[in-house]
Amino acid sequence: MQIHNLSKTPSVLNTFISEIRAKTIQKDRMRFRRNIERIGEVLGYELSKHLQFEAKTITTPLGKSETVLHKNDIVLCSILRAGVPLHNGLLNYFDGAENAFISAYRHHKHNPESFEIVVDYLACPNLEGKTLILADPMLATGQSMLATFEALKPFGTPKEIHLVSVIGAQDGVDFIANAFSAETHLWIATIDKTLNEKGYIVPGLGDAGDLAFGNKLQN
């Protein structure tokens, strides 16, 4: 797997990451969602440099302009519900993409420190020969990303795969690096060192879905 960790180069991206982490700032749900969206835009821009391009001639009111435009047939897939703001950021830059959505969540059977990934809902177009961008803001253990990809397999084999995350744990990055092909790209804003006993990223930021949309109903 080819890993693109954008935090290795200081940029304005650091501002967005610091704000989604900060306890005082992340209480503003609208700002939290917008910062995730902006991070998605930055990741999408960097990702676009690795797409395929072709020459095009554009007609302006005053003449002709030569340019190069990407020719990829993109499907953008996000994991609900936390993935929605990240999806929107990517969609701002790949506005012609087809879209897929999947519901994947941690199901704790008996031990709160162990879980399985359950996929409840999936809507997806044909993936055969297309460029799949699979987005999940928090790459903790990596199991959600892999479970989602496995659920997408009946829809065809993509030509290329790009994984997009905001914050990851090194364990999760290592896990998907072994699970996905060497040609797969991972685009990630930053990588933290550890997971806690419940499988959450430390220092991380907390629960991205709750911060974006409010606390889930607890059974």
Residue in 81, 88, 151 with CA at minimum distance from that of residue 123: 151
- State the Cα–Cα distance between residues 76 and 131, nearest whole angstrom: 8
Strand partners, 55: 68
- State the Cα–Cα distance between residues 140 and 168, nearest whole angstrom: 6
- Exposed e or buried b per residue across 2-13, where buried means at least 16 C-beta atoms within 10 angstroms of its C-beta: ebbebeeeeeeb
pLDDT digits (tens, 9 = 90+) for 168-199: 999 999 999 999 999 999 999 999 999 998 88
Q: How confident is the model at residue 216 (pLDDT cuts 50, 70, 90)?
A: confident
| Mean local confidence (pLDDT), 139-151 | 92
- State the Cα–Cα distance between residues 137 and 78, nearest whole angstrom: 9
Whether the full predicted model's pTM is greater than 0.85, yes or no, is yes
Q: What residues does each domain of the chain span?
A: 2-52+70-213
What's the whole-number average pLDDT of the chain?
Answer: 92
What is the CA angle 209-94-44, rounded to 5?
Answer: 65
Cβ-based neighbours of 153, under 8 Å, separated by 6 or more: none
- State the Cα–Cα distance between residues 210 and 216, nearest whole angstrom: 7
Q: How confident is the model at residue 112 (pLDDT cuts 50, 70, 90)?
A: low
Cβ-based neighbours of 28, under 8 Å, separated by 6 or more: none
Q: Which CATH class is domain 2-52+70-213?
A: alpha beta
**Cβ–Cβ < 8 Å for 39, 27:** no
